[in-house]
């Protein structure tokens, strides 16, 4: 489902992975960077997935439990080649051990979990797969319209997978590729990249052809029933016109119970949107129409938007005019109910570029993120953007990737400001998990 623009970008990236350019020093020493685990591409999983004619896919996002163990997904690999859910456990002497919790078969249980997983309060894991399931969708890499799954831990250390919803590819949506979000009542919220309203014709915003024949995507809610089943409610079906779609990011809540996200389409080159609940349903409003100018275009973050303590929203766009490097942006609510766009950082193709994931914030309002390409060695960077007096921002590269891992994708912050993330490629082609300490 990834757009062919990504295909072109990462073909170029792969061609320069072996090049060593002039070193451009970062703020943190190289000794502060550590590879925690490198996937082999076999039964343990593969962060990078190549499909001829379709593009590139890779998983995104880590979560952690109280013991400091990480959980995540790989888009491919595993026993059957359709991706895994894995656990990465810290050991003595700084060692880490990977355990595959579940290996997807590509059948009704799902295929290709592009998004990460989330915990419920009981310690169960939930996630989505882009393919598999019982729906009637098909493309060049899998059949099925995708599923939402639950993994439950057993007393013997194994985990059991249950499909709690299988998309049909109709009005309910198709191909979920974004992380899920819980509300306080235990309901799950997510998005799909296809399916929805336009069932008799392709999504009108379909610049790369043939990818969204069954609609422009939806925002959905899954509510648990007393018998262990779940019921889907579609909150919004994207039209691919003014409201956005396809390629919809994860959604996040504000304190008032509104949902926020980004999507392709819209009036120009993508939207940031808000969904407001009422007694009659959910109403979408547009926070910003991305023009493809200095504000960038295609805000299709795989990890979504993020709020700061003051209620401002931060996110990324994939590109600038003439396929430049993308942006980090800030949206600030105003007294009139509108939102003001401002630039945090603009990437140029001469340095790092193409931030495919969103950003994270620390308690001081500093912004951290990844760019999948460019940097001193052409293999991507982890960056920090710090607010300065006078309202400006200072950009610093914390790490330039090369050789052992490249194409950094997701990022999370642990104790003491330590950064953890996943990279979609490596010297053996399968990606891995890294750590950067301050």
pLDDT tens profile 408-429:
989 999 988 999 999 988 887 8
Task: Classify residue 167 as left (phi > 0), alpha (psi -120 to 50) or beta.
Answer: beta
Residues 6+ apart with CB under 8 A from 44: 77, 78, 84, 86, 98, 100
pLDDT of residue 199: 54
State the pLDDT confidence band at 8, using cuts at 50, 70 and 90.
very low
Q: How wide is the angle at C-alpha 82 spanned by C-alphas 77 and 84, nearest 5°? A: 65
Residue 319's domain spans which residues?
1-60+302-438
**Is there a domain that residue 333 lies in?**
yes
Q: What is the pLDDT of residue 417?
A: 92
Q: What is the pLDDT of residue 54?
A: 46
Domain-embedded: residue 220:
no
What whole-number percentage of the chain has pLDDT above 90? Answer: 68
Per the structure block, which two tokens stand in for 203?
A: 């999504």
397, β-bridge pairs: 383
pLDDT for residue 51: 55
In a domain, 96, yes or no: no
At 30 the three-state DSSP class reads helix
Lowest mean pLDDT among 18-22, 162-166, 188-192, 378-382: 18-22
Q: What is the mean pLDDT of residues 368-393?
A: 93
Quote the pLDDT of residue 55. 46
What is the model's pLDDT at position 350?
A: 67
pLDDT score recorded for residue 247? 84
23-32, 109-118, 146-155, 325-334 — which is least confidently predicted?
A: 23-32
Within its chain, how far is the Cα of 146 from the centroid? 16
388 in a structural domain? yes
**Is 50 exceeded by the pLDDT of residue 13?**
no
The 10s digit of each residue's pLDDT in 38-80 is 999 999 998 877 654 444 556 668 999 999 999 999 999 999 9
CA dihedral 370, 371, 377, 378 (to 10 degrees): 160
Query: Has residue 12 got a pLDDT over 90?
Result: no
In a domain, 224, yes or no: no
Residue 378 vs residues 100, 147, 323, 372: alpha-carbon distances, Å = 31, 35, 16, 9
Per residue in 225-269, pLDDT (tens digit) is: 989 999 999 999 999 889 998 889 999 999 999 999 999 989 999
pLDDT of 351 reads 78
Q: Say how far apart CA 110 and CA 105 lie, in whole Å.
A: 7
Is residue 74 within 8 Å of 433, Cβ to Cβ? Answer: no
CA proximity to 197, closest of 174, 215, 221:
215
Mean pLDDT of the chain: 87
**pLDDT (0 to 100) of residue 59:** 60
Residue whose token pair is 């938007």 = 305
Q: Is residue 256 part of a domain?
A: no
- Average pLDDT, integer, range 315-326: 82
> Could you give the CA distance from residue 96 to residue 88 in angstroms, rounded to a whole number?
6
Strand order across the beta sheet in which 306-307 lies = 306-307, 313-317, 327-333, 339-346
Question: Within a domain: residue 202?
Answer: no
Percent over 70 (pLDDT), the chain:
86
Number of domains in the chain: 1
Give residue 3's pLDDT: 43
pTM across the whole model: 0.91
Q: Are 369 and 352 in contact (CB under 8 A)?
A: no
Kindly report, residue by residue over 199-221, the tens digit of the pLDDT: 556 787 665 554 556 788 999 99
Q: C-alpha distances in angstroms, 405 versus 94, 117, 257, 282?
A: 19, 22, 39, 42
Is 413 among the domain residues?
yes
Contact between 66 and 48 under an 8 Å Cβ cutoff? The reply is no
What pLDDT is stored for residue 145 in this prediction? 93
Q: Is the predicted pLDDT of residue 287 greater than 50, yes or no? A: yes
**Cβ(315)–Cβ(338) below 8 Å:** no
The single-letter DSSP state of residue 102 is: E
Instruction: Give CA–CA dist 242/285, Å, rounded.
Output: 10
């Amino acid at each position: 489902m990834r757009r062919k623009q990504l295909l072109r970008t990462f073909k170029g990236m792969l061609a320069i992975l072996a090049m060593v350019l002039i070193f451009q020093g970062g703020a943190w020493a190289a000794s502060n960077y550590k590879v925690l685990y490198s996937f082999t591409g076999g039964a343990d999983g593969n962060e990078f997935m190549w499909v001829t004619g379709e593009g590139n896919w890779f998983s995104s996002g880590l979560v952690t439990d109280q013991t400091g163990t990480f959980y995540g997904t790989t888009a491919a690999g595993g026993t059957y080649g359709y991706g895994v859910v894995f656990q990465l456990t810290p050991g003595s002497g700084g060692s880490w051990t990977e355990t595959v919790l579940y290996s997807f078969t590509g059948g009704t249980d799902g295929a290709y979990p592009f998004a990460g997983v989330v915990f419920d309060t009981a310690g169960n894991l939930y996630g989505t797969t882009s393919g598999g399931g019982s729906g009637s969708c098909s493309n060049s890499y899998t059949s099925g319209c995708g599923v939402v799954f639950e993994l439950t831990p057993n007393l013997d250390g194994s985990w059991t997978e249950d499909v709690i919803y299988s998309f049909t590819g109709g009005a309910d949506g198709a191909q979920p590729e974004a992380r899920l979000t819980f509300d306080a009542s235990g309901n799950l919220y997510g998005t799909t990249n296809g399916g929805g309203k336009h069932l008799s014709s392709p999504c009108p915003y379909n610049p790369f052809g043939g990818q969204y024949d069954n609609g422009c995507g939806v925002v959905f809610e899954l509510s648990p029933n007393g018998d262990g089943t779940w019921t889907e409610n579609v909150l919004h079906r994207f039209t691919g016109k003014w409201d956005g779609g396809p390629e919809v990011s994860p959604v996040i809540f504000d304190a008032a119970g509104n949902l926020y996200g980004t999507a392709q389409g819209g009036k120009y080159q993508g939207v940031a949107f808000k969904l407001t609940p009422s007694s009659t349903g959910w109403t979408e409003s547009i926070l910003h129409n991305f023009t493809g100018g200095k504000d960038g275009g295609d805000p299709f973050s795989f990890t979504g938007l993020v709020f700061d303590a003051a209620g401002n929203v931060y996110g990324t766009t994939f590109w600038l005019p003439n396929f430049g490097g993308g942006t980090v942006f800030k949206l600030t609510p105003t007294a009139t109910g509108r939102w003001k766009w401002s630039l945090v950082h603009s990437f140029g193709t001469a340095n790092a570029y193409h931030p495919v994931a969103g950003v994270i914030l620390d308690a001081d309002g500093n912004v951290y993120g990844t760019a999948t390409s460019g940097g001193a060695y052409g293999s991507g960077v982890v960056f920090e953007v710090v607010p300065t007096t006078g309202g400006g921002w200072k950009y610093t590269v914390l790490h330039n990737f090369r050789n052992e891992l490249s194409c950094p994708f997701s990022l999370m912050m642990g104790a003491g400001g330590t950064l953890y993330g996943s990279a979609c490629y490596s010297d053996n082609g399968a990606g891995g998990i890294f750590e950067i300490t301050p």
